[in-house]
Amino acid sequence: MEKQFLVDDLNIGEAWRLFKIMGEFVEGIDTLNEIGPAVSFFGSARIKPSDSIYKKTEKLAKLFVESNFAVITGGGGGVMEAANKGATEAGGTSVGLNIILPFEQKPNSFANVKIDFKYFFIRKVMFVKYAAAYIILPGGFGTLDELFEAVTLVQTHRIKPFPLILVGSDYWLGLIDWIKTKLLSEKRISPEDIEILQVMDEPEDIVKAVQKVIIL
C-alpha cells in the first residue's frame, strides 16, 4: 500500500527518496517551460457544475486563453475542473497539476497537459514559478494555503510581485476586513501589505487587471 505521510518517511537510509523528489522537479520544469505566460487558478474542489462560481470560472479561463494566457490548476474537480474546461474549450493550454492522494482528489478530464505529483511542496513551486497571476476563487483550507503562501512570498520579496486576485467580494471581503482590523491594526503587517491583494468580481475586469501588469 502506498504510504500517505511521505515527508515523515524521509528517515535515515531512505535518502533515495530524494531522487524521486528531483524527478518530479525535472518533469514539472521540462513540461511547463514550454507553456508561455500562464495564470494559476485556485478554489474549492467541491463546487458543482450547476454553481454560479463554476460557470464564472469557465468564463474567466476562456477569457484568459483568448488573451494568450495558459491556465494552470490543481487538476481536480470543482473550480479546477471549470478552469481546465473553459481553457480547453477555448482552444488553449489547460494544465492540470494533479496531487496523488489516497482519497478526495480525482483528476478531471479537461486538462490537456497533465502532471502527477506525490509531493505537495513540488506542486506548489510549479504553481508559483509559472504564474503571471493567481486567481483565487471561493475555496477552503487548500485555497487559503495557496493564497497566503503566495502573499508571504511576495511580502518577503522571495518572488516578483504579481496580481493576486480574490474573485467574489461577497466571499472575500470578510477576510479582508479581518486582515485590516486585526493584522493591520495590531501591527502584524505593514499598510503596503494590504495592497498585495485585490478583490474583484467581473471576469473582464480581472483579465484587464492582469494584462495591465503582464506584457505579452
- Residue at grid coordinates 477555448: 90
d(CA 131, CA 123): 12
Can you give the CATH number for the domain in which 87 is found?
Answer: 3.40.50.450
Q: What value does the mean pLDDT take over residues 168-173?
A: 97
Phi, psi of 146 (to 5 degrees): -65, -40
The verdict on residue 18 lying in a domain is yes
The verdict on residue 2 lying in a domain is no
Strand pairing partners for 164? 134, 197
Q: What value does the mean pLDDT take over residues 9-16?
A: 63
Instruction: State the total domains in the chain.
Output: 1
The verdict on residue 1 lying in a domain is no
The verdict on residue 21 lying in a domain is yes
Find the domain containing 96 and state its range.
7-213
Mean pLDDT of the chain: 92
d(CA 90, CA 115): 21
Residue 50 DSSP one-character state: T
- The torsion defined by the Cα of 27, 93, 164 and 126, in degrees rounded to 10, comes to 0
The verdict on residue 194 lying in a domain is yes
Number of residues that make up the chain: 216
The verdict on residue 167 lying in a domain is yes
The verdict on residue 34 lying in a domain is yes
The verdict on residue 69 lying in a domain is yes
Is the distance from CB of 111 to CB of 95 less than 8 angstroms? yes
Q: What is the pLDDT of residues 158-168, one digit of tens each?
A: 999 999 999 99
Categorize the per-residue pLDDT at 101 as very low, low, confident or very high, splitting at 50, 70 and 90. confident
d(CA 147, CA 44): 13
Q: pTM, whole model, 2 decimals?
A: 0.90
